[in-house]
Chain A
Amino acid sequence: MSRLIALARNTFREAVRDRVLYSILFFAIGVIGLSLVMQEITVGDREKVVRSVAQGAIAAFGSLIAIFLGISLVFKEVERKTVYTILSKPISRWTFVLGKYLGMMMTIAVQVGVMMVVYTVLLTIQQSVPPPVVYVSAGLLLMELMLLTAWATLFSTYSGPTTAAGFTLAVFLIGHLADDIWTFGNQLDSAAAVEVARALYWVLPNFEMFNIRAHAVHELPIPWDQVLGASAYGLCYTAAVLGVAMLVFERRDLK
Chain B
Amino acid sequence: MIPAISTKNLGKIYRVGFFMRRVEGLRDLSLDVGQGEAFGFIGPNGAGKTTTIKILMGLHRATSGSASLFGVDVNESNARKRVGFLPERPYFYEHLSAREVLHFYGQLSDIDAAERTERIEALLDRVQLTRFADVSLSKYSKGMLQRVGLCQTLLHDPDLIVLDEPMSGLDPVGRALVRDLIIEQRDAGKTVFFSSHILSDVEAICDRVAIVVGGSLRECGPIEDVVADRESLEAVLVGEMQKAVDESRLGVL
Interface residues of A (CB under 8 A from B): 2-3, 5-7, 10, 13-14, 17-18, 80-93, 95, 251, 253-254
State A22–B105 Cα separation when bound (angstroms): 27
Q: Besides A87-B59, A89-B105, 10 other CB < 8 A contacts?
A: A6-B107, A10-B93, A10-B96, A13-B96, A83-B59, A85-B149, A85-B152, A89-B109, A90-B109, A254-B60
Pick from B59, B80, B95, B110: contact of A2, CB under 8 Å: B110
Query: Closest residue of chain B to A253, judged by CB?
Result: B60
A90 touches B60 (CB 8 A): no
Q: How near does chain A come to B67, taking the closest CB pair, in angstroms? A: 14
A90 touches B57 (CB 8 A): no
Which residues of chain A are near B109, meaning CB under 8 Å?
89-90
Interface residues of B (CB under 8 A from A): 14, 54, 57-61, 77-81, 83-85, 87, 89-93, 95-96, 104-105, 107-110, 149, 152, 162
State A18–B94 Cα separation when bound (angstroms): 11
B81 touches A90 (CB 8 A): yes
16 contacts between A and B (CB under 8 A): A3-B110, A6-B107, A81-B90, A81-B91, A82-B91, A82-B93, A83-B59, A84-B57, A85-B92, A89-B80, A90-B79, A90-B81, A90-B109, A90-B110, A91-B77, A95-B77
Q: How near does chain A come to B98, taking the closest CB pair, in angstroms? A: 13
State A6–B81 Cα separation when bound (angstroms): 17
Asked, given contacts A253-B60, A254-B54, whether A90 binds B80 with beta carbons under 8 Å apart, the answer is yes
A84 touches B104 (CB 8 A): no
Query: Closest residue of chain A to B60, judged by CB?
Result: A253
State A34–B110 Cα separation when bound (angstroms): 48
State A87–B58 Cα separation when bound (angstroms): 7
Which of A13, A17, A90, A92 has the most chain B CB within a 10 Å cutoff?
A90
B91 touches A86 (CB 8 A): no
State A14–B107 Cα separation when bound (angstroms): 16
Which residues of chain A are near B87, meaning CB under 8 Å?
81, 84-85, 88
- Per DSSP, chain A at the interface is helix
State A220–B79 Cα separation when bound (angstroms): 57
Which residues of chain A are near B95, meaning CB under 8 Å?
13-14, 17-18
Which residues of chain B are near A3, meaning CB under 8 Å?
107-108, 110
Which residues of chain B are near A80, meaning CB under 8 Å?
91
State A85–B59 Cα separation when bound (angstroms): 10
Pick from B61, B92, B162: contact of A82, CB under 8 Å: B92
Pick from B14, B85, B110: contact of A88, CB under 8 Å: B85
Asked, given contacts A6-B107, A84-B85, A85-B90, whether A92 binds B59 with beta carbons under 8 Å apart, the answer is no
State A82–B94 Cα separation when bound (angstroms): 10
B92 touches A90 (CB 8 A): no
Which residues of chain B are near A81, meaning CB under 8 Å?
87, 89-91
State A105–B77 Cα separation when bound (angstroms): 25
Q: How near does chain A come to B172, taking the closest CB pair, in angstroms? A: 25
B78 touches A90 (CB 8 A): yes
Pick from A6, A18, A84: contact of B108, CB under 8 Å: A6
Which residues of chain B are near A87, meaning CB under 8 Å?
57-59
Asked, given contacts A3-B107, A90-B109, whether A84 binds B80 with beta carbons under 8 Å apart, the answer is no
- What 10 pairs between A and B have smallest CB-CB spacing? A6-B107, A88-B85, A92-B77, A81-B91, A89-B108, A84-B87, A17-B95, A253-B60, A254-B59, A90-B81
Query: Closest residue of chain B to A80, judged by CB?
Result: B91
State A205–B87 Cα separation when bound (angstroms): 40
Q: How near does chain A come to B222, taking the closest CB pair, in angstroms? A: 28
Q: How near does chain B come to A216, taking the closest CB pair, in angstroms? A: 36
Pick from B77, B149, B152: contact of A90, CB under 8 Å: B77
State A6–B96 Cα separation when bound (angstroms): 14
State A254–B95 Cα separation when bound (angstroms): 22
Q: How near does chain A come to B15, taking the closest CB pair, in angstroms? A: 10
Q: How near does chain A come to B144, taking the closest CB pair, in angstroms? A: 16
B91 touches A6 (CB 8 A): no
State A86–B96 Cα separation when bound (angstroms): 15
Q: How near does chain A come to B213, taking the closest CB pair, in angstroms? A: 22
Pick from A2, A13, A82, A88: contact of B58, CB under 8 Å: A88
Query: Closest residue of chain B to A78, judged by CB?
Result: B59
State A3–B110 Cα separation when bound (angstroms): 7
